[in-house]
Amino acid sequence: MKFMNVKEQWFLYDTIAVSPWVNTMAHPIPGWYPLFSDIAAADDLTFFNTRNKSIGLAYNNQESRDQIPYALVCESLSVGFFAPALSSQLGTLTTGTYRGRVDGISAFWENELPQHTSVTFRTNQDERLKTNCALVPACYGPVGYATGQGDTSTVGGNSGSVNAGGMGRADLKYRWVFPSGIDIPRRATIGVQLRFVEWARDVLSKIWGPGNNEFIDYVPGDPPSTAHVFKPTMFMIQVLITGRRQVQQRGEYHA
């Protein structure tokens, strides 16, 4: 008896993060970095062959990091650079003073860095795409650009810059599309590799951080008061593959 699979819309994604929170994790995630200087020192950044969904479904949805468990027709690919919307980066708080504050790293990460990063997409041993990351924008998440600034007289205090930006347009139809699709057989390996140019490495190696965001926590009392709460920020790079996977139909399960 010949069985017929059906093609179901599907996607795969994997994420790399840079955050001081990484140093606090009991089990660090492979390919995640605590400092910009650490990711700058990496020869390349790899996706789909390093992590799986055990790191959290928000960051990865792969059953296995080594092989695709079903046949997949790859229709589009993107690389998204995502940065904190609260863009004020505060350095370590010691003895009541900050190591420093910067407000431009979110915009740099989202808009400048992709233009100085290459991407290579492989299936098994074949290279299917080699290009610049700015040509394969995510087309989801914040796009366009907007920024705001609080009271600058309280630098290092309650004020903070807000940033919402990204490359591309907020519509998946503007993604990088493979016109006829790429057939990826079951149990095949896939991988995406990113590399910074030397200029980008030099910039990332010389800026401190990521730092912290400052929040205000309301403390009930008579009178009520507020406390400053500092939380580590997170910068992310996410690769997304969309396409159609072949699945077995009810009543036609087969080996």
* Domain extents in the chain: 12-247
What is the tens place of the pLDDT at every residue in 74-100? 999 999 999 998 888 887 666 555 567
State the pLDDT at residue 12: 94
Phi and psi angles of residue 39, each rounded to the nearest 5 degrees, phi first = -70, -30
Q: Summarize the confidence of residues 52-76 as an average pLDDT.
A: 90
pLDDT at 249 over 60: no
* Distance in angstroms (rounded) separating the CA atoms of residues 79 and 196: 13
pLDDT in tens, 157-172: 456 788 888 888 888 8
Percent of the chain whose predicted confidence (pLDDT) is above 90? 51
Confidence of residue 42 (pLDDT cuts 50, 70, 90): very high
- 246: confidence class by pLDDT, cuts 50, 70, 90: confident
Contact 44, 195 (CB under 8 A): yes
Q: Which amino acid is at 189?
A: T
pTM: 0.87
Taking the CA atoms of 38, 213, 100 and 218 in sequence, report the sign of the dihedral they define.
negative
- Of the candidate ranges 108-117, 144-153, 242-251, the one whose mean pLDDT is the lowest: 144-153
Separation CA 64–CA 225 (nearest Å): 49
Q: What gap in Å lies between CA 150 and CA 76, rounded to an integer? A: 40
